[in-house]
Amino acid sequence: MLRRLCSRRSRRTDHVTLGVQGVVIDEASRVLLVRHGYRPGWHFPGGGVERGEKIDHALSRELDEEAGVHLLKSAQLFGIYTNFEAFPGDHIALFLVRHWRHGRIPRPNAEIIRQRFYTLDDIPQNATPGTKRRLREIFGDTERTWAW
């Protein structure tokens, strides 16, 4: 019995989660950021990979749900980051999205209250530190780190 309890407990604390986020880049090299209704700051659109879901499908689904963005070609994997401050086993796969179209612009709702394209010089001050860091890694000369 003790072995079963210990086994169950270790499984609960050893969970690994995976999320996807897309750096959607338009023809003017602006990036799309979204504001959530449930957490502060500006973020890349994205979300969790569901059980049994392929990672490319999760990215496509999240981009459509949050921003009305439809992929025209596969997105480029930029990196996989640990996000252990959010959850000890959390990881984020970050993709560069250069070939896309806007099928629609979703109305503000409880999840996404706003979306907007920003130039790199105009990124909002309240963009999250991880968002700002990733932009410097992608477009600047900042060395890549593997923690979100």
* CATH number where 86 lies: 3.90.79.10
Is 4 part of any domain? no
Residue 100: the pLDDT is: 98
Name residue 143's amino acid.
E
In angstroms, the CA 105 to CA 64 distance is 9
Eight-class DSSP state of 111: S
Q: Is residue 90 helix, strand or coil?
A: strand
Task: Considering only CA atoms, give the Rg of the chain.
Answer: 17
| Model pLDDT, residue 2 | 41
* Assigned domain for 130 exists: yes
Q: For residue 21, give the amino acid letter.
A: Q
Identity (one letter) of the amino acid at 41? G
Asked whether residue 79 is assigned to any structural domain, the reply reads: yes
Tokens of 94: 């970050």
Amino acid at 25: I
pTM over 0.95: no
Backbone angles phi, psi at 141, to 5 degrees: -115, 25
Residue 35 belongs to what domain range? 16-139
Q: Is residue 46 part of a domain?
A: yes
What tokens appear for 61 in the block?
């689904």
Domain assignment present for 6: no
**In-domain check, residue 107:** yes
Domain tally for the chain? 1
**Residue 8 in domain:** no
Indicate whether 39 belongs to any domain: yes
pLDDT along the chain (148 residues), means of 10: 42 79 98 96 98 97 97 98 90 98 90 96 97 96 92
User: Could you write out the three-class secondary structure of 13-82?
Assistant: HCCCEEEEEEEEECCCCCEEEEEECCCCCEECCEEECCCCCCHHHHHHHHHHHHHCEEECCCCEEEEEEE
